[in-house]
Amino acid sequence: MVNKDLSVSLCGIQMKNPVVPASGTFGFGLELADTLDINTLGGISLKGTTREARFGNPTPRIAECTEGMINSVGLQNPGIDVLVNDKAPFLRKIYGGVIIANISGYSVEEYAFNCSKAESCPDIDIIEVNVSCPNVHGGGMAFGTDPSSAAAVTKAVKEVTGKPVFIKLSPNVTDIVSIAKACEDAGADGITLVNTFLGMRIDIKRRRPVIANKMGGFSGPAIFPIALRMVWQVSHACNIPVMGCGGVRRAEDVVEMMMAGATAVQVGAENLRNPFVCPEIVQQLPAVMESLGIEKLQDIIGIV
């Protein structure tokens, strides 16, 4: 095996490699612990968590697409108390990498409450805040589609935690840079790009949407070029690190994301097709680096 340095430093936290299963595609890390060696992964972004337990949206929740999928799971999760008292501590007993709590909320107050709980859990290293949720006090518009709303969530969260905070942004906007910069100005330690695009499929025989919720989040290889563009734009406009996400399925995609400016790279939809893809990417990275004349992954971050 080719010996290469895969390590990266994310907000001062050392990661053995930049590969992270994205939230919602890897459970709480525990579900696959008996199937694969989770300690090969640089980090794990846990299932999105709300204040109260949620059953999620009605079924069907998944629709297949060319080079991707649409999902409308609806943040099914057991609630913040189960995350901090059960899931994260149990994962830490068997996993030595970076544990990332993915936090959702339907009001600024809920985001702050959940993040204060995550702050109290020593097993959580990074808090990733999903601002793609609808603001129940703001007409249902997602927090992440407006710079001031995204900044308000960021500010509230930073007031209750000293852990690194990454804001995970929605790509369903016209100007991703302005929103990312608003989060940076409000104190964000990093940005995760991108969440899913809004998509839809119709069953032409039944003449109705495939998904019960009509629309859902479109992810998979088809979105990679757009996600890459947003990573490049934001990483060059902001002075905080970016975790790239969107359509990643190969070691070459990880390298491309890092050249665009990502410090770490999340793998999402591909986990659902191939649960072994993340350790496979880690295993393939040294050979790809060798073919490109790369000794250290840290050296290629943002070189384009």
pLDDT in tens, 146-204: 999 999 999 999 999 999 999 999 999 999 999 999 999 999 999 999 999 999 999 99
CATH superfamily for domain 8-300: Aldolase class I (3.20.20.70)
d(CA 260, CA 302) in angstroms, rounded, equals 5
Catalytic residue among 115, 133, 183, 238: 133
Q: Tokens at residue 99, please? A: 């544990």
d(CA 32, CA 91) in angstroms, rounded, equals 11
133 given a catalytic annotation:
yes
Length of the chain: 304
Q: How far is CA 124 from CA 1, 105, 117, 236, in A?
A: 32, 18, 10, 28
Contact (CB, 8 A) for 221 and 164? no
| pLDDT tens digit sequence for 40-98 | 999 999 999 999 999 999 999 999 999 999 999 999 999 999 999 999 999 999 999 99
Listed residue (45, 37, 47, 49) closest to 18, CA to CA: 45
pTM of the model: 0.96
Task: Look up tokens 């612990």; give the residue.
Answer: 33
Looking from the CA of 22 toward its CB, the CA atoms found within 13 Å total 24
